Each structure stands twice: as structure tokens, then as C-alpha cells.
Amino acid sequence: MIFDLLAEGYSIDEVNSFYPHINTEDIKASIKYAAKLCHSREMVEPFEVI
């Protein structure tokens, strides 16, 4: 959902307003993680959402 909003043009601040329990650092970390996956040739095990 977060990536969908960002792809639609919403800013990180706007995403924060929709999901106040997720902070800016969390969003930036998820973007960095997704970028790393895109550049990786290795399979990465998904993590469990708690």
C-alpha cells in the first residue's frame, strides 16, 4: 500500500498522515530495502509481518 501511494505521487508526509504508526524513517528504510531487492541477484526470504 505504501509503495502504491508513493507511486501515485503522494509524498512521504502524506503517507504518514494515512498511516501515523509508520514514521518517515520506516518508509525510507522500506524504499531502500526494495531498491536492494531490485539490484540483488539472490533470492531473499520474505520477513514475517507482526
| Residue 13 dihedral angles phi and psi, to the nearest 5° | -60, -40
Q: What cell does 13 get?
A: 508526509
In this prediction, residue 38 carries a pLDDT of: 83
Q: What is the mean pLDDT of each run of 10 residues along the chain (50 residues)?
A: 93 94 93 86 68
CB 2 within 8 A of CB 30: yes
pTM score, two decimals? 0.67
In this prediction, residue 39 carries a pLDDT of: 81
DSSP class of residue 44? -
Torsion of the alpha carbons at 1, 47, 26 and 15, rounded to the nearest 10: 10
CB 22 within 8 A of CB 15: yes
In this prediction, residue 48 carries a pLDDT of: 72
